[in-house]
Amino acid sequence: MSKLTKLALAGEGGQGVQSVAAIIVEAANDAGREALYIPNFGVEQRGGVSVAYCQISDEKIGSPKFKYADLIIALSDRAVRRTRQYVNKDTVFIYDASIENIENDLPTNAKKVLAIPALDIAKKELTPRVFNVIIMGAAIAATGVIDMEGAKKALEKRLGYKFEKDPKLKELNFQALERGAELVKGSL
Amino acid sequence: MTEKPINGEKRVFMTGNEVVAWAALAAEADIMYGYPITPQNEIMHYWTRLAPKYGRKFLQTEDEISAGFTTCGGVLSGKRAFTATSGPGNILMQESMTMAEMMRIPTVLVVQQRGGPSTATVIYSQQEVTMTCYGGNGEGLRIVYSTGSHQELFDYTIKAFNIAWKYRFPTFVLGDGYQAKMRESLYIYDPAEKGISMLKTVPFVGLEGMPGVDRDPSHLRNTYNTEEELYDVVTNLVAEYEKIAPEVIEYQTFDADDAEILIIAHGIVTRAAQAAVKALRSQGIKAGHFRPITIRPFPAGEARAVAAKAKKLLVVESAQGQFQRLVKDALYGLTVPMEGYFKPGQGITSEEIVEEVKKGL
Amino acid sequence: MTTIAPKMPKSWRTETKPHKFCPGCGHGLVLKALGEAIDELGIQDRVVFGCDIGCSLLSWDFFNVDSVQTHHGRTTPVVTGVKRARPDRICIAYMGDGGGYAIGAQHLVNAASRNEKITAILVNNCNYGMTGGQMAPTTLPQMKTETTPYGRDPEETGYPTQGPEMVAAITRENAYVARGTIANVRQLKGYLKKALQNQIDGNGFSFVEALSSCPTNWSMNAKETWAFVEKTMPEYFKIGELKAPAKKEEKIDV
């Protein structure tokens, strides 16, 4: 796959979108691909919506921000409203099913708009701590920018020290990754 | 001797601020003076973590005025000293940089441009072009590299030290908030691996031997008594600057030779311009791109050569024409129509450039 | 007619004498005390001397020591930069009251707070001399200057800056702080020597304010000038040591 994939992850501070973005691009880089990641930062980030802009390709990447994304995952109502500007007819727009009163703010020009119950699954089946890993699973399944093996390796690299202390955590993370992938597979 | 910070060459994936810190380490920089400002902070953060391991130093000053002047002091005492700043900090450093121009102090300053005027945004812009090239009272006798990628940030930060010390003009690496904060891949290396040797530095004050006995004292000043005296000093400075300019200028062209529409851009915007040229060419539109790497001195002759052949020029920048003024200055007398696509304080994508070009066809 | 050259400190540069200060200016006396202090400490080959803008800039080629003339108020950071990069040098920042207490006050305060191992010497002559006699932070109440033509009104512009008192208040015990006067050059030289010794010992920041004269801008004759320096100024600016580091064991001179 030599196509350039553009990905925007957005959420509230603490939802872990920047960590997920960092792990995905690191994994892509480790796989020998070109990746570029830039967070929004500074004044906006304090108390605002956190947005991670990622691009992955086999060639050197152009400008760091983009007009339209191939995939957007928005994890709060504000995140939905903040990121719908990056939608065009080729965009897959995913948002968490738990966000309330958002119907009128969803983009109408996307290729596909999909709600996934990531938060619900995290709470009921796994643990809220792995919410963002479910999102990571959904992101890589929706884009194919890295494979599941690479994703797991990247998680180990990032969280290995925590996994060593608590082997159950590793299982939980890997399960979250798989569950996230399942949420979008077949729906796109 | 302490071990080298980088052995050989390796591929890494990091932010631009981290890149600058590694480059300064690899370039054998002795000391950094700095004051916090977004988006350059992490240069200091990485430097303060790495530097002590390799016997290098850091001083956090009370403001950017002090950071600039302490950097002058560090260089005057013969050390490879540098600082980094942005926006309002860049304003405050102009004073010390004029002293560096006048006394030929080879300072290195990394600028990560943020939005302006005033405190504006901490994010990104190309609005510090005029200030970095011509800020201060004087003639802008500086060398300014406008980088567009992490690889260039690494390469040109190393180069900035050698160019500064070779020619003794204050040297700037002009990055921006995007370059500061984004992550992408690059190769970092030990300069020796590439056949680059760091120039030996020499002290301007604090020399060995008894002044007045073994040698004359080093008496440095930047204040002169008469108009005539100053005129001579400045004329000589300008003459030296103009003499070295052809050796210093760097630029790139992309499909410029037969371009009918020539996109002129610098810094990180070159990435969008390069992609736009590819896209336009694939649609049968004869587009090309000229990109100065040194925006001061400006590769004027080289720009003219390609611009003269084009039917139309489009200057693209994340500022309201600051870069275009440099271009106009270089192209004065050409009659090729010129337009500007200006997005002060905002990033520019290749799609926008393509759209803009097509709109004008 | 023959003239007998006055005895000059060894560290003075004879080629640049006579110096360029106005007749009756106190800078020459401060620089004489400093020259003798440098001689007596035997540090001439290690001194890096920085001078400010204002009348102090006229000292840029005064000594046979490496010297750099900087910008207004910026001597403290330049000299700090030198010292941080070359701790083996004895670094002196020489400035006026405007440079130290107004435009460069943040540098003085922070160099003192960080306990920079430099020696700052500030010449207090109650006005901006080089620019033609405007009010300085140290201008005395009721004193007439070009910008206080009816006399400095403390209601409007406050009271004279108490520089050494301020520096003493923000430094710890390893700093040296004193105020001397050209009316007592011997004492002033003693303070300067102690200040430099404090740097040589690697203790920390040292600061000496020297009360000085400016007959040109004060529009005073010799007698009035001397009376002003000797009597009037010390009423506001107390002479003496404000902070002297506790005696350390004798160090071997390097």
Provide the pLDDT for residue A188.
Answer: 80
pLDDT surpasses 80 at C183: yes
CATH 3.40.920.10 correct for A5-184 = yes
Cβ burial B132-167 (10 Å sphere, 16+ → b, else e): bbbbbebebbbbbbbbbbbbbbbbbbbbbbbbbbeb
Helix (H, G, I), strand (E, B) or coil at C204: coil
Distance in angstroms (rounded) separating the CA atoms of residues B332 and B329? 5
Helix (H, G, I), strand (E, B) or coil at C224: helix
Neighbours of C251 (CB within 10 A): 10
Structure tokens at C209: 């304010």
pLDDT surpasses 60 at C250: no
Which residues, other chains included, contact C11 with Cβ-Cβ below 8 Å and sequence gap of 6+? B212, C35, C38, C39, C44, C47, C63, C64, C65
Q: What is the ipTM of this complex?
A: 0.93
Q: What are the residue ranges spanned by the domains of chain B?
A: 9-194, 253-359
Distance in angstroms (rounded) separating the CA atoms of residues C109 and C165? 12
Any chain B CB within 8 A of the CB of C44? Answer: yes
Q: How far is CA C156 from CA B113, C3, C159, C249, in A?
A: 41, 50, 9, 49
| CB contact at 8 A, A77 and A101 | yes
Distance in angstroms (rounded) separating the CA atoms of residues B201 and A139? 51
Any chain B CB within 8 A of the CB of C169? Answer: no
Structure tokens at A131: 């919410």
Helix (H, G, I), strand (E, B) or coil at C200: helix
DSSP A36: E
> Greater confidence, B249 or A162?
B249
What one-character-per-residue DSSP string does B204-265 give? SSS-SS-BTTTB---EE----SSHHHHHHHHHHHHHHHHHHHHHH--EEEES-TT-SEEEE-
CA C53 to centroid of chain Cα atoms: 13
Q: Do domains B9-194 and B253-359 have the same CATH topology?
A: yes
Residue of chain A nearest B184, judged by CA positions? A36
pLDDT surpasses 60 at B121: yes
Provide the pLDDT for residue C254.
Answer: 46
Distance in angstroms (rounded) separating the CA atoms of residues C146 and C131? 10
Give helix A131-143 / helix A167-184 axis angle, nearest 10°.
40
Any chain B CB within 8 A of the CB of C86? Answer: yes
C46 CB-side CA count, 13 A: 18
Any chain C CB within 8 A of the CB of B29? Answer: no
Residue of chain B nearest A42, judged by CA positions? B122
Cβ of B217 within 8 Å of Cβ of C79? The answer is no
| CB contact at 8 A, B86 and B38 | yes
What are the pLDDT digits (tens) for C108-121? Answer: 999 999 999 999 99
As a whole number of Å, the end-to-end CA separation of chain A is 18
pLDDT surpasses 70 at C153: yes
Whole-model pTM: value is 0.94
Helix (H, G, I), strand (E, B) or coil at B42: helix
The residue of A25, A30, A38, A67 whose CB has the most chain B CBs within 10 angstroms, and thus the best one to mutate to test that interface, is A38
Interface residues on B facing A, Cβ-Cβ cutoff 8 A: 13, 38-39, 121-123, 149, 178, 181-185, 268-269, 271-272, 274-275, 347-352
Q: How many CB pairs under 8 A join A and B?
A: 69
What are the pLDDT digits (tens) for A9-62? Answer: 999 988 999 999 999 999 999 999 999 999 987 676 677 899 999 999 999 999
Any chain B CB within 8 A of the CB of C81? Answer: yes
CATH number for the C16-243 domain, one of 2.60.260.20, 3.40.50.970, 3.40.50.300, 3.30.1490.20? 3.40.50.970
Residue of chain C nearest B75, judged by CA positions? C82
Distance in angstroms (rounded) separating the CA atoms of residues B324 and B290? 13
**What's the one-letter identity of residue B283?**
Q
pLDDT surpasses 50 at A1: no
Q: Which fold has domain B253-359?
A: Rossmann fold (3.40.50)
Nearest to C193 by CA among B17, C185, A162: C185
User: Of B185, B272, B275, which has the smallest distance from its Cβ to A29's Cβ?
Assistant: B185
Nearest to B173 by CA among B29, B320, B340, B48: B29
Q: Which fold has domain B9-194?
A: Rossmann fold (3.40.50)
Any chain B CB within 8 A of the CB of A86? Answer: no
Using CB atoms, list chains with 3+ pairs below 8 Å to chain B: A, C
User: Of B74, B95, B211, which has the smallest distance from its Cβ to C85's Cβ?
Assistant: B74
Cβ of C67 within 8 Å of Cβ of B30? The answer is no
As a whole number of Å, the end-to-end CA separation of chain B is 62
**Touch of C by B (3+ CB pairs closer than 8 Å):** yes
Cβ of B349 within 8 Å of Cβ of A37? The answer is no
Provide the pLDDT for residue A47.
Answer: 75
Average pLDDT over every residue of A125-145 = 95
Query: In angstroms, how far apart are the furthest CA atoms of chain A?
Result: 46
**Touch of A by C (3+ CB pairs closer than 8 Å):** no
